[in-house]
Amino acid sequence: MVFLQPGDMSAILLSLKVATAATLVATPIGIAVAWFLVYGRFPGKTLVEGVVNLPLVLPPVVVGYFLLLLFGKNGWIGSILLKFNIQIIFTLSGAILASAVVGFPLLVRSIRLGMEAVDHSYHHAARTLGANVWDAFFTITLPLSLRAVFAGMTLMFARSLGEFGATIILAGNIPGRTQTIPLAIYDYTSTPGGDRMALSLCLVSIFFSFVVLLISNAAAGRSMERR
Amino acid sequence: MELSCDIQKLLGTFSFRANFHIGGSQERGTHLAGTKVGIFGPSGSGKSTLMLLLAGLLKPDKGRICLGETVLYDHAAGINLPPEQRRIGVVFQHARLFPHLSVIKNLLYGYNRVPRAQRCIQPEEIIRVLALEHLLERGVNLLSGGERQRVALGRTVLSCPRLILMDEPLSGLDENLKLQIIPYLNEVSAEFGLPLLFISHSLLEMRLMTNQVLLVEAGEVQELIATETLATKLWRSGRQSYINVLHLDSPRERDGIFVYNWGGLSLVLTEQAEDDNAVFELDARDILLFKRHPEATSARNLLSCTVEELSPAGNRVLVDLLCGDGGSTSNNTSSDGIGERGRQRLKVQIVPESVRELGLAPGREVVAAIKASSFRRAG
């Protein structure tokens, strides 16, 4: 890490902060949405499903732009938040929001697959033993799909570490405030003579991705043993 | 307490109807407590559908279900109690133990959700009855089939249900295990006075577990009949041979064979039971009838009997015998195969020609010969 510039450290920390926060914020919502998609019976379910999955296929820049429209100073949500003196755009919250929205479909997909794989008869058994719908969900279905939830979280964490398009539109590229690793790399590559510095950050990025992979594999292995 | 049910449900093209009444007013003085009623029918007849409808896991299209004073479902009044408020325990076909919880946590899952005042059974008690002491801390994936079913039974009983439904609890187990589980099922029902609905397509299980049976056929729940009547009915239809179910006890060895007590009579068997009490099957076709006591025979069991009734069906006749000394016909004996002390019931299948040759008629004395090896261990 001899090649790292002083500013790089803040980019790395910021990246970790953004990815962690985005994952933690999105997980409860992801569990709720996945439950809705698996067990909910309502008209227009396909539409909801489409909207949830949209960020997966849209260019992140487009997602970022929509978020900017919504959360901007004159945006639908942004104008309300401004009354409480909360600003999303060009802040850390903006970077977290962008990462959360872009990674969300990956999280939901994983949790949903996990929940669908849990035999619903366990839920039925819990109900006949006196557990209501919520009780049965939190004590049976959720613990049994915990592995999938964790897999979704690691996937989303990794995706957030690499988030670029939506972040640069919504949060900008402000060193020390919203500049994450990918944004810093982008800065270096557009500066003459920044190639080596870009490469060292790339190595950091590869290192993190690898660690996340190892953790997710180890977790999967441990839960296999328990079975 | 009584269970009355009058419901309809359409599932795709399968239409299900049930209209029956168990316990309470229909038979005066009878109580649902401790009753064991079977739900019998071939696969796909709707037995499990009935279980789901009663437990509240499936909503009927119309009708009404009442358990005692509680209305569980009433289409007209818009009542549909959720499963957790019905207090109907279910023992599922494949146990359905929660794979992420240990045995003890599975057992206490329902118990912990019962309000303190309604807890009727202590966990220690059921753990003792089901002999689960050494398994408590184990993960449920390491249990054998029989152990899983015992844990499932304990888990259901501990949720203090007012009625237990058992959906083919023995079907996933091999023959030996079935024999081991049946005494547990009977003991739990007897010890805790819990009414039991036992779903199965096995006549033998029905006869070992229940006194009365609801017949389910092609999505329709038919009449409530005595289990013994069902056995004769199935014999009459020619689908199954009649099997005598004998409760024997106190075996003692004699020259390598075993002498059992059959309610005051002695029977000689080649098979040894591990316990003091055992149930044996005896095919009605494996019994020979003699007009007089034969001088000598290889059959080890010779019982003097009185013919009670002859039921012909095609080229077969089922002879109802009252075994034991004395001879007068008695109408007081119960129909479940257990007569008064020293008098036992036995059914023998013969052909009409034999009936003519032996001159069989009600009241007639005959001698039944049974080989010691004709008995098969049942439970």
Q: pLDDT tens digit string along B361-372?
A: 898 889 999 999
**What does CATH list as the number for B243-377?**
2.40.50.100
Give the pair of three-digit tokens for residue B55.
């437990």
Give how far B176 is from chain A: nearest CA, Å: 26
Is A129 in the B-facing interface, judged by CB distances under 8 Å? Answer: yes
Which residues in chain A have Cβ-Cβ distances shorter than 8 Å to B96?
119, 121-122, 124-125
- Can you give the residue ranges of every domain in chain B? 2-236, 243-377
Asked whether the beta carbons of residue B57 and residue A226 sit closer than 8 angstroms, the reply is: no
pLDDT, tens digit (0-9, with 9 covering 90-100), for B207-257: 888 888 998 888 888 778 888 888 888 888 877 788 888 888 888 888 888
Asked whether the beta carbons of residue A125 and residue B98 sit closer than 8 angstroms, the reply is: yes
3-state secondary structure of B242: coil
Residues 6+ apart with CB under 8 A from B152: B91, B92, B95, B96, B97, B169
Quote the pLDDT of residue A32.
94
A194: pLDDT strictly greater than 80: yes
Asked whether the beta carbons of residue B109 and residue A131 sit closer than 8 angstroms, the reply is: yes
Which residues in chain A have Cβ-Cβ distances shorter than 8 Å to B114?
130
Provide the angle, in degrees to the nearest 10, between the axes of the packed helices A6-39 and A45-57: 160
Superfamily of domain B2-236: P-loop containing nucleotide triphosphate hydrolases (3.40.50.300)
Which residues in chain B have Cβ-Cβ distances shorter than 8 Å to A144?
98-100
Asked whether the beta carbons of residue A128 and residue B156 sit closer than 8 angstroms, the reply is: yes
For residues B175-179, give the mean pLDDT: 72
Is B164 in the A-facing interface, judged by CB distances under 8 Å? Answer: no
Give how far B146 is from chain A: nearest CA, Å: 18
Residues 6+ apart with CB under 8 A from B373: B269, B270, B271
B337: pLDDT strictly greater than 60: no
- Bin A148: left if φ > 0, else alpha if -120 < ψ < 50, else beta: alpha
Confidence band, pLDDT 50/70/90 cuts, at residue A94: very high
For residues B342-365, give the mean pLDDT: 88
Among A122, A131, A226, beta carbon nearest to B96: A122
Q: What is the DSSP letter of B138?
A: S
**Burial of A196: CB neighbours in 10 Å, binned 0-12, 13-18, 19+:** exposed
Confidence band, pLDDT 50/70/90 cuts, at residue B178: confident
Give the pair of three-digit tokens for residue B8.
């309809």
Can you give the pTM of this predicted structure?
0.80
- What per-residue string of b and e applies to B324-351 under the rule 16 or more CB within 10 Å gives b? beeeeeeeebeeebbbeeebbbbbbbbe
pLDDT, tens digit (0-9, with 9 covering 90-100), for B91-112: 988 889 999 999 999 999 999 9
Is A46 in the B-facing interface, judged by CB distances under 8 Å? Answer: no
pLDDT, tens digit (0-9, with 9 covering 90-100), for B39-53: 998 888 888 889 999
| A44, A108, A130, A171 from B288: Cα distances, Å | 72, 71, 55, 95
pLDDT, tens digit (0-9, with 9 covering 90-100), for B72-87: 999 999 999 999 999 9
Quote the pLDDT of residue B1.
65
B:30-89 residues touching chain A, CB 8 A cutoff: 55-57, 82-84, 86-89
Q: Hunting for tokens 């959700």 — which residue is that? A: B113
For residue B152, the Cα-to-chain-centroid distance in whole angstroms is: 19
ipTM attached to this prediction = 0.80
Give the pair of three-digit tokens for residue B376.
């098969």
Beta pairing class for B277-283 and B243-254: antiparallel
Asked whether the beta carbons of residue A130 and residue B141 sit closer than 8 angstroms, the reply is: no
| Domains in chain A: ranges and CATH | 6-226 (1.10.3720.10)
Quote the pLDDT of residue A124.
93
